[in-house]
Amino acid sequence: MGLLRMVAESEATGKVREVYEDIMAVKGIGFVPNFWKALAVFPEHLEATWQKLKTVMRPGRLDLRTKEIIALAVSITNNCEYCIHSHTAALKRLGLDNAAIGEIVAVVDVFNGTNRIANAYRIEPDVTPDPE
């Protein structure tokens, strides 16, 4: 469609090429996903998005697997087809099987429902001590 004009790996120069190479190195994959090739229409956006994503996905208090699970949960909630595919593929590369994906889907199902119950009834937060 008119929105999309991806920059192929063979066309990439300068900043775009640098980002492409870093993406393949950090992710340990031999191709640049379509998502990043589409972003290259605005190279500064490509670079800032990749820098931020790389920073945020780096293991810290949470490991990469947990962070990819969050990414899938968000993508299902928002109904982003490309994102559901790519985060499922990433989780399978990290060792999750279909049964584990099924558990993620089940949790996303339950809390999208309960979110609406809490919205509907405008329930006040419970007063609980903050352990921190």
Residue 32 gets which letter from DSSP?
Answer: -
CB of 41 to a second copy, least distance (A): 4
Q: How far apart are CA 115 and CA 112, in angstroms?
A: 5
Please name the residue ranges forming H helices in the chain: 14-27, 34-39, 43-57, 64-78, 81-93, 98-121
Task: Give the nearer residue to a second copy in terms of CB position, either 2 or 14.
Answer: 2
CB 23 within 8 A of CB 50: yes
Residues 18-37 that bind a second copy (CB under 8 A): 31, 33-35
Residues 34-63 that bind a second copy (CB under 8 A): 34-35, 38-39, 41-42, 44-45, 47-49, 51-53, 55-57, 60-62
Selected binder of a second copy within 9, 17, 27, 84 (CB under 8 A): 84
Residue 80 gets which letter from DSSP?
Answer: -
Selected binder of a second copy within 10, 14, 28, 79 (CB under 8 A): 79
